[in-house]
Structure 1
Amino acid sequence: MEVPTDSPIVHDGILLEKEQLMNKDKDDRLTNWRLIITAAVVSCLNAVENSVLGIGEWPYMREIDPNATAQFFGLATSASKCGHAVFALIFSIWSYKTSSVKIPLIASRLIAIAACMIYLTIEYVKTDKRYVLMAVYTLLGIANSGGTVLRGYVTLCSSNEDRPRAFAALGLSFIFSIIVGPTIQLIFSAIPYPGYEIIPGIWFHLYSAPIWISFILTILTVFVILILIEDISREKKTKLRPSESQSSFSMERWRSLYEKLKKSNLDWKLIVVCFFVRMAVSFSHSTLSTIGSILYMVMFGWDGATTVRVGSITMVIFGVMSSTILLLYIFCHFGKILPQHKVFLFFTIAFGAVYIITYPFEFTSNPVAKYNETTRAGCNPEEYSWCSTALAVNPMLYLSVTILVAGMSIPIMSTALDTVYSRILGNIDQSVAHGAMAVIDDILYMITPIFTTTMFTLYGIGPLWIVKSMAFGIIALTWAANLKKIGEHLY
């Protein structure tokens, strides 16, 4: 299950706290709700475009290129994440230097259109189609990174007082995409491959239908950006003092920040703990999104259509559960009612238990599905040396336990950890510190797919599940050992 990892809702509490701490001067700006709603619409269209592919990526690659392996799919996924990480920075700097969000956004949408056109014409390629799909995934990763400039845009369009509501509006777009994207996949899952030929060489089927939808939404997004998005001068809207109006990338600003950090008496031990925990959690969450469709096809023997159908239903349920949790944080103040450091520990243990419960024990498992030449599903002994001895856990047990726990754990753990991290940092400019966390996420989402698919190819699901359960065990022990000290920063 691929879960959007940069949702503003997850960081809303942090943004609110940061604004309260850092912007003590009275802010007399008026919130432009029209532009904020427009930004939310653009963000939603971009997010749906990203989530509409999802579970169908691996089945389609396997369908059109018999030489595609799980390891290559992991490499393609990593390339997409790498493109996203690099160009998120490039688009952000570009937006800052040009004082424009329209230009980077339009550029990202044009890249997305090119990716969609390549995807839809892939049947013209006769051999090694997996490399074409890898290029498409990389281009889509680059295109999706353009949406990062919308966060800065929302701050320019809103007053300090309205900032949390403005970011909530932006965050709701991600919630919407979690549900809509897989639903679109589900609607077209009944159209088998190769489907219907629209024009010679271009087909409409369960794998290409989401890209057709994405193509249409991307063109619509271009018009929305051109017509409704308005660039806002940072100098006029932020009313910075002369010393603050320098480029955020100047040496003076970084030197000043460094001096403040030296005098802030930060608890570096707990900061390192948060970084370590973030690394372990990101590693574990990324594994789920990478291995999902591979697990369905190789271990359970489901064909591409069934994989897309079940995966889409799973993601819709997950989206509804995650949305409910995040809405409770926004409107019911779960962040204040529940002790976040203890909540994080509880769900860390719960998530680790998932890999123990779904481990392929003999009493809960059956032999892995035999390879089917027609559907190209099942465990192929030519690819996986462990096919004759491996077991696959009962699919219903795996799906029910994973959905129930992950649907609650992922949004709660992300929110709780970010809240704790923000409190530990205290009254400092937290932009660099949170940027470092984002870099960690990007790096791990680049590395994990390669590690996960290589482990799966060489050893199967059992050893991989042991590694993941151990990772959560180490997280829980590390967090528990520092629980009392962490609590001191919260109350």
Structure 2
Amino acid sequence: MPKADKKCILKEEQTSIDEQTTDWASIYVASVLSFVGSAQFSIYFSSLWPYLQILDSSANETFFGYIIAIYSLGQIFSSPTFGYWSNRIKQVRLPLFSGLALMFIGNALYIVLELVTFPRKYLMLVCRCITGMGSGNVSLLRTYASTASTDKDRPKAIAYVTCGQALGTTAGPALQLLFTPLSYPGFQIFDMLTINMYTAPAYLACSMNFLGALALYFLFKENYAGIVDEEDNEQQPENKKSMPVRIPPYDVIAVLVCYATRFTQMFINTNLETIGSPFAMMMFAWTETKAVTFTAAAQGAVGVFTFLTYLMYILLKMDKYLNCRVSCMISLAALILFHLVTYSWPFIPGNVVLHKNTEIYNFTEQHVGCNMDKFSWCESLRPVNVYVYYVAYIVVIGLAFPTLNITLTTLFSKILGPRRQGTQQGVLQMSGSVARMVGPILISILYSAYGPRMAWHMEIIIISITLLLWCFFYGRMVPLRSVLQLDTIRVENGKAEGGIISVKSNGRIHPSGDEDKPTTTTSTTVTA
């Protein structure tokens, strides 16, 4: 091929990369859909247990635990399945529609729970499983944000989608409060269905799923700025087939470290939510009402810090000042610091308030503190300062968790490289779902048998192991070296005749493997 033609091919390839831009309109739609999917889980938090008692009084706390866990079990199966399906058909639209349809069906079955004659608790179990399976499409939205954005826009795009997910989780309980005035049994429609404080969230969820499907159909477009498709070369004109695109394999160890980190993140988050109120009642000698009130207030404050963290990444582009690897490690270290600060150290003066079931008290008062008849570890437990605990909880959890959401997902997408990431992103989501399922079981067993100290030990060990993995494999936690291999290329300056051409464009490809300094200029480097 003449020199001029080969130089022309290089220019055309370089121009095609330069022209790729982030489709922000579709990113915004993905953020809204992420909100819709996440709200399906949290919108039932406060109403699920009392409604189960109304529907079937034989359902106990153990069966309720199954209902909570089966939502995550549905995600465990659906997240990688949706991802693999997306990779096979090279689109996210159809799997996203399927996820919305499953969530709609699950919530519609929840509405008709009162109409069935067989044991309703089993239908509620099926409802939550189907809804959980549908919510597995959230991983596809992170996949789209990762592959539809250029390298320099990726932290911002992922921040939008993960912010939508966080807001959905936070707003769910608040949306439930709007329906409390409907009370129970509410009122009937069509002489069959009822709208009350328990079924109204399901109607809202069905409406959100339907509107989300409309937005997906009319407003969402699949434009990928972060994918290099190796098969596209076969469809190119003959004069361009001498320039095939080769994407190297990704680092499996780095991917596994990301999976472990997501597991750790969700494991800690779920455990703290699980024992939040019981811990406060025992440690600070609060009544149930006071514990629920302060825990809810703390969650609200965490939500504010979380939202501010996302704003910093969206508006101030924090990734420019602190790279993803360092941010992940600082977040993990902060979680260890939280557990050390809130640990019941033996040298802390005093003791937690103690009580026994056999003590006589009037009906206007409640037993508060640690139940010595129930727990053998009460007498040795030292009181944690309430202000230290909640300040540490709000600041550390409110900053570390959203930072991990953004930076881990961003770095994970770069480690995989400019390829379709549906399956891998699905497994990343699955690792978090596994943590959400097994975490409450393990923490409840340890907490009941050995107290909060042993629960804290377990969490410190898991976080420390994850942080050590980051330290040991720090040099491998970098973006994939993406290269374009050109066959029989003669460069005019005579430096190389054939070899590997690395094209850097808009910070999207980093031949050096260094994610600390994204490239903003376009250049062509030849490796002989």
Bin for the TM-score computed over the shorter chain: 0.5 to 0.7
Residue in 1 that maps onto 2:321: 337
Residue in 2 that maps onto 1:12: none
Distance 1:123 1:446, change over 3 A: same
- Deviates further, 287-296 or 386-395: 386-395
Distance 1:317 1:377, change over 3 A: farther
Deviation, structure 1 residue 67: 5.7
Residue in 1 that maps onto 2:352: 365
Distance 1:164 1:229, change over 3 A: farther
Deviation, structure 1 residue 354: 2.4
Residue in 2 that maps onto 1:355: 339
Deviation, structure 1 residue 406: 0.8
- Matched AA of 2:206: T
Distance 1:160 1:229, change over 3 A: farther
Q: Does 1:184 align with 2:171?
A: no
Counterpart pick for 2:207 among 189, 195, 219: 219
Please tell me whether the aligned partners of residues 293 and 307 of structure 1 are also in contact (alpha carbons under 8 angstroms).
yes
Q: How do 1:34-433 and structure 2 match up within 5 A?
A: 35-54=26-45, 57=48, 68-69=60-61, 72-94=63-85, 104-120=95-111, 131-151=122-142, 167-187=158-178, 195=184, 197-199=186-188, 204-205=196-197, 208=198, 212-226=200-214, 229-230=217-218, 243-244=231-232, 260-261=248-249, 276-292=260-276, 295=279, 302-303=287-288, 309-338=293-322, 340-360=324-344, 363=350, 365-367=352-354, 386=376, 397-418=388-409, 425=415, 429=419, 431=421
- Matched AA of 1:331: L
Deviation, structure 1 residue 463: 1.8
Distance 1:486 1:124, change over 3 A: closer
- Matched AA of 2:435: L
Q: Distance in 2 between matches of 1:108 and 1:332?
A: 33
Q: Distance in 1 between matches of 2:264 and 2:32?
A: 33
More helix by share: 1
Deviations 1:15-61 (A, max 9, x none): xxxxxxx9994365787665554444333333333332346556766
Please tell me whether the aligned partners of residues 30 and 158 of structure 1 are also in contact (alpha carbons under 8 angstroms).
yes
Deviation, structure 1 residue 341: 4.2
Q: How do 1:20-35 and structure 2 match up within 5 A?
A: 25-26=16-17, 28=19, 35=26
Q: In structure 2, the residue corresponding to 1:338 is in which secondary structure?
A: coil
Percent identity at matched positions? 19
- Matched AA of 2:336: G
If asked which structure has higher relative contact order (CA below 8 Å, sep 6+), I would say: 1
Q: In structure 1, the residue corresponding to 2:187 is in which secondary structure?
A: strand
Deviation, structure 1 residue 337: 1.2
Residue in 1 that maps onto 2:522: none
Q: Distance in 2 between matches of 1:101 and 1:339?
A: 29
Unaligned runs of 5+ residues in structure 1 are: 1-21, 247-255
Distance 1:396 1:126, change over 3 A: farther
Q: Distance in 1 between matches of 2:37 and 2:429?
A: 20
- Matched AA of 1:111: L
Q: Distance in 1 between matches of 2:277 and 2:245?
A: 45
Deviation, structure 1 residue 374: 12
- Matched AA of 1:26: I
Deviations 1:199-257 (A, max 9, x none): 4995734xx2xx513422422431452476149897999998782499xxxxxxxxx99
Deviation, structure 1 residue 83: 0.3
Deviation, structure 1 residue 321: 0.6
Q: Distance in 2 between matches of 1:329 and 1:287?
A: 27
Please tell me whether the aligned partners of residues 65 and 130 of structure 1 are also in contact (alpha carbons under 8 angstroms).
no
Q: In structure 2, the residue corresponding to 1:26 is in which secondary structure?
A: helix
Greater Rg over alpha carbons, structure: 2
Distance 1:355 1:419, change over 3 A: same
Distance 1:455 1:102, change over 3 A: same
Residue in 2 that maps onto 1:464: 455
Counterpart pick for 1:451 among 442, 459, 464: 442
TM-score (norm 2): 0.64
Unaligned runs of 5+ residues in structure 2 are: 1-12, 235-243, 479-512, 517-528
Root-mean-square deviation (CA), in Å? 5.3
Deviation, structure 1 residue 409: 1.4
Please tell me whether the aligned partners of residues 452 and 464 of structure 1 are also in contact (alpha carbons under 8 angstroms).
yes
